[in-house]
Amino acid sequence: MNQRAAIDIRHSTCPHDCPSACALDVEVIDGSTIGRLRGSKRQTYTAGVICAKVARYAERIHHPDRLTYPMRRTGPKGSGAFARIGWDEALDEIAARFDAAEAEYGAEAVWPYYYAGTMGLVMRDGINRLANVKKYSRFYSTICANVAWAGYAAGVGKVAGVDPREMARSDLIVIWGTNPVSTQVNVMTHAARARKERGARIAAVDIYDNETMQQADIRIILRPGTDGAFACGVMHVLFRDGLADRAYLARYTDCPDDLEAHLAARSPAWASAICGVPEAEIEAFAHAVGHTNRSFFRLGYGFTRSRNGAAQMHAALCIPAVTGAWQYEGGGAFFNNGAIFGFDKTLIEGLDQLDPATRALDQSQIGRILTGDAEALYGGAPIKAMLIQNTNPMTVAPEQELVRAGFAREDLFVAVHEQFMTETALMADIVLPATMFLEHDDLYYGGGHQHISVGARLVDPPGECRSNHEVLQGLAQRLGVDHPAFAMSPREVIDATLKSSGHGGIDQLEAELWRDLQPDFRASHFLDGFGHPDGKFHFRVDWGNVDLARKLRLGPWQAMPSLPDHWAVTEQADAEHPFRLATSPARSFLNSTFNETPSSRAREGEPNVLMHPDDAAEIGVGDGEVVMLGNIRGETLLTVRLSSGLRRGVLVAESVFPNRAHRGGRGINVLTSAETVAPHGGAAFHDNKVWVKKVTAPLAKRD
């Protein structure tokens, strides 16, 4: 008789680069194998729902292609030729190469590089401790959130907002600049509940007819980079038609009269000419929000992918201030709750050892940095050695031709700590096998909600995999540096961090599973004042004084509009490059994570580009045919998918596929720019001008 496997339901938090940070119920089979993952119903934001790619996580954690032992490169970079070595040999070599680079060029020649392959605070941010203690070049995070964070903080005064669960008590949910059906499924959980229980309407504002748009009652399709124009046209109507809440404006906002005067010339006709939305749709949207007190604006990360994204985010955010929606349950706005958690990361990041004089290099400009661009290097030493954790810049970073050339340098030593043989790992000199989130302890918070949690180690890792923390401990010992956290276990670091942050200890938080830190109604709706010193929502912005901790002033921030407006600083189409390209997220990938899982690859198929049928007809291409997209940064081949759900002249390539999945081996990020975005830096992935050519004999895809 077959013996039934013992299944234990354990609890964790999804660590991936998504604001939902879903609460998980995890099947642990016979104490060693992961089965199905489900959303926990015990946590009120996740509410029992998670995305399909994480539900199938067993496919990833038990994947036969996982890295399980350290390796040294034995052939040319990128060739895949590696030989197995031991951990001591690997760490000794990394430390020796770091010391050699420091001895010849100074400590800033070493650049620890990371990002959000895990959002756990210990495993993601601990690498900064090594940089701070050793005075290596610091890592300035720009590739994701800076732009939208600045735009939101400019209005509200902090990055926090209405309890996102209040979407379920709204009468109109405006989902703007995000496609949550694909990227934040829990947003749709609460919006759908409002529709079912209250008859609420869902409005979607985006640049194409994506899966969220298809579930919306009101559909607004913009040209890329024109959200500010649309928002100004809407606010013009609100003031013109008596739909602005003047009592609220007088009490809670800084300059409503100046705003109204400024918007007088920004009519629906003016807005329509810029954003492409018909005047009637602008008028109808304005009346929908103006006549619905409980209008909830769920603003997303699409704003952060455009050169004018901060100004656009601020303009969209101003609408619920004009209507006074903030004063009602189910009304107001939400983007991220980053300001409510208050974690003291001194121990995790070694902030007590931080030297502000040490240069902080822009992660988005890694291609320029590794190819010796003096401006990107701040005139300092070249980068000669790197440790990379939690990211795959050979696929996800902009200006891929420069990135590829930089990693191909024979004088650059690279150690990559990874779970799979990514395209970045293939360019490494030393590859180290990494644990996954169910194989180590970590501390999490949900930027898209209000919970904190401990994710405990549930199973042992395969082979010789080690956690990020263990790798840093091993290197610190060999590099002769000292900091208390290097001598502590992850659980001890978590416990000390929680206590210093005023959140109690690890045992208490584990007993609660997921702790709700949402401020009360009055605080969340800013009924006692917004986050600025004057307590007002700010329509007028001094972009040089938008305060985000440890953020540099970058890009042309002095030219940003002080009042909501269309800021025409995006990369505009021209005669040579007649199309605007956005690289929006694919449903089954998360950046380059899940590229390796068979179910995600099967669902996404091959790299493709959405094109309006009339544009395709002019070029002479049909559905399923191959085209080449190009600009001054590079060229790539994609398969055409016809769609009438975008404006003429707009292309959308849902990404990120590996470079090798593209015919010719060049991925979508050969087209994207690392030009610095104001006011704090960023990468404008959705802001590209390109040309399109029909390809009659396309190259075959790489294996």
Together in a domain, 43 and 100: no
**Would you say residue 532 lies in a domain?**
no
Mean pLDDT of the chain: 96
State how beta strands 23-29 and 295-299 pair.
Answer: unpaired
Q: Write the CA distances from 278 to 133, 144, 238, 529, integer angstroms.
A: 56, 31, 17, 36
Tokens of 262: 């400024």
What φ, ψ does residue 515 adopt, rounded to 5°? -95, 130
Together in a domain, 282 and 406: no
Together in a domain, 323 and 359: no
Together in a domain, 381 and 479: yes
Residue after which a domain boundary falls, among 559, 589, 622: 559
Q: What is the Cα gyration radius of the chain?
A: 25
Nearest to 396 by CA among 590, 173, 193: 590
**Would you say residue 348 lies in a domain?**
no
Q: How far is residue 665's CA from residue 326's CA, in Å, rounded to a whole number? A: 49
Amino acid at site 163: D
**Would you say residue 278 lies in a domain?**
yes
Together in a domain, 642 and 602: yes
Q: What is the pLDDT of residues 329-381, one digit of tens each?
A: 999 999 999 999 999 999 999 999 999 999 999 999 999 999 999 999 999 99
Nearby residues of 674 by Cβ (< 8 Å), 6 or more positions away: 362, 364, 365, 366, 367, 368, 397, 398, 399, 402, 683
Q: How far is residue 57's CA from residue 16's CA, in Å, rounded to a whole number? A: 12
**Would you say residue 568 lies in a domain?**
no
Question: Looking at the 3D structure of the chain, how many domains does it have?
Answer: 4
Together in a domain, 82 and 231: no
What is the model's pLDDT at position 588?
87
Together in a domain, 312 and 357: no
Domain, as residue range, for 215: 147-338+539-559
pTM over 0.95, yes/no: yes
With a cut of 70, list the residues of the chain below it in pLDDT: 1-3, 549-550, 698-703
| For helices 468-479 and 87-105, angle between their N-to-C axes, nearest 10 degrees | 60
Nearest to 597 by CA among 34, 53, 149: 53
Together in a domain, 616 and 548: no
Together in a domain, 316 and 361: no
Q: How far is residue 138's CA from residue 144's CA, in Å, rounded to a whole number? A: 17
Q: Write the CA distances from 230 to 535, 583, 654, integer angstroms.
A: 27, 21, 24
What is the model's pLDDT at position 283?
98
Together in a domain, 325 and 431: no
**CATH number of 593's domain:** 2.40.40.20
- Going through 349-422 in order, the beta strands assigned E by DSSP cover 360-362, 385-389, 413-418
**Would you say residue 607 lies in a domain?**
yes
Distance of CA 363 to the CA centre of its chain: 13
What is the model's pLDDT at position 600?
87
**CATH number of 42's domain:** 3.30.200.210
**Would you say residue 170 lies in a domain?**
yes
Cβ(525)–Cβ(24) below 8 Å: no
**Would you say residue 395 lies in a domain?**
yes
**Would you say residue 345 lies in a domain?**
no
**CATH number of 490's domain:** 3.40.50.740
Together in a domain, 641 and 675: yes
**CATH number of 306's domain:** 3.40.228.10
Residue after which a domain boundary falls, among 559, 592, 625: 559
Nearby residues of 324 by Cβ (< 8 Å), 6 or more positions away: 244, 245, 247, 248, 249, 252, 293
Nearest to 168 by CA among 334, 50, 11: 334
Together in a domain, 373 and 412: yes
